[in-house]
Structure 1
Amino acid sequence: MYKKIKRAMDIIFSGILLILGAIPLCIVGILVRITSKGPALFKQKRLGKDGKVFEIYKFRSMVVGAEKQGSGVYSGKNDARVTPIGKILRATSIDELPQLINIFKGEMSFIGPRPALTYHPWTYEEYTEEQKKMFQVRPGVTGWAQVNGRKEVEWPRRIEMNVWYVEHMSFLLDLKIFFKTIFKVFTNADNVNSTETAKRD
């Protein structure tokens, strides 16, 4: 029952925020375009519910082709690939706002396991059956792993927390994650990859 209620809330709130934030979102998009070469939005294939692939939307905070430069999927402190405005977008998590579109479309939720890349840390087929439980719900803009270490947590442990979330998902837990996320955003805590986190146990 909660899954249905949660989806209804996702549609309502993402729709409202897209309408109210239309002008600010357009302004941010224009700033991204005029301050660095390339599109305003960054699109990337991610693993969604049931392992289905979808395109996640973000405001582009790096130079075009950043994934093929430097440290690849990892972004450390003072990463030269991050654009000047991208530093602000990342520090404030404003770069994540286009995911309101993903939520409205039904590809994501406000809260859930953060969607992994199709190839990192592993392909869908390489996850164990236990680990695949994290794909039983829609991925989220924020989640249990994000408020308990975020980018500092190695992937095996991150997946364990994602599975735990799926098994204990409730309104109160989502509310707790929401408020902890607000705190993380304002303090910019755990928002930089200091080590490689895709090592297996």
Structure 2
Amino acid sequence: MYKFRTLKPVDETVDLDIDGARRTPLGDFLRMTHLDEIPQLWSILVGDMSVVGPRPAITELEPDYQEQLSEWRRRWFVKPGLTGLAQINDATGTEPAEKLRYDIKYIRKQSFIFDIQIVFRQIWKVLQDITSMFR
């Protein structure tokens, strides 16, 4: 999965978090406008990703999720997506059980119409994020 870097690299000698000193104005803009996702279009074009599907987990956290959540492996049988049911419902990797619940629901209900609904909801969320920048 390709993405623009929106945070400064982690310095192991300093405890920096996502909301702290790793942030940059350009990175904040890319994240707020969702432009950091553009490189993933290449992955979709070559068939490594889908437009809609479970978002890939952070590789280093995958073993922890597998230990905590017995159904986690079901996600492996569906192509990862640029957006997904968990994303439009604001479930993130920091809440793996909730994210998994949405991912499993998506896997069970997966259809063209359901994908279209998710894409439209994601577009709406992006537009809301962009308009909130100007408030």
**2 CA distance for matches of 1:124 and 1:153?**
11
**2 CA distance for matches of 1:135 and 1:80?**
34
In the TM superposition, residue 90 of structure 1 has moved relative to its aligned partner by: 0.5
**RMSD over aligned Cα atoms:** 2.4
In the TM superposition, residue 124 of structure 1 has moved relative to its aligned partner by: 7.0
Aligned with residue 6 of structure 2, among 61, 81, 101 = 61
Task: Name the SS for the 1:110 alignment partner.
Answer: strand
Q: Which runs of 5+ in 2 are unaligned?
A: 131-135
Q: Tell me if 1:177 matches 2:118.
A: yes
Give the share of equivalent positions with the same residue, in percent.
38
Task: For 1:65-80, list aligned pairs within 5 A.
Answer: 65-66=9-10, 68=12, 69-71=15-17, 75-76=18-19, 79-80=20-21
Q: Deviation per CA, 1:92-150, whole angstroms, max 9, x where unpaired?
A: 00001000111122221111001001122535753655221122110011000001124
Q: Deviation per CA, 1:62-116, whole angstroms, max 9, x where unpaired?
A: 22x2374512xxx33xx32122211110100000100011112222111100100
TM-score normalised by structure 1 residue count = 0.57
Q: Deviation per CA, 1:151-194, whole angstroms, max 9, x where unpaired?
A: 497111111110111111001110110011011112229xxxxx
Structure whose residues are more often helix by fraction = 2
Aligned with residue 96 of structure 1, among 12, 37, 41 = 37
Q: Which residue of 2 aligns with 1:140?
A: 81
Code of the residue aligned with 1:144 in structure 2: it is L
Code of the residue aligned with 1:70 in structure 2: it is L
**1 CA distance for matches of 2:40 and 2:56?**
11
Structure whose residues are more often strand by fraction = 1
**2 CA distance for matches of 1:177 and 1:67?**
37
**2 CA distance for matches of 1:111 and 1:150?**
15
**2 CA distance for matches of 1:180 and 1:118?**
27
Code of the residue aligned with 1:60 in structure 2: it is R
TM-score normalised by structure 2 residue count = 0.82
Code of the residue aligned with 1:172 in structure 2: it is I
CA contact (8 A) 2:56 2:81 kept: yes
Code of the residue aligned with 2:4 in structure 1: it is F
Q: Which runs of 5+ in 1 are unaligned?
A: 1-55, 190-201
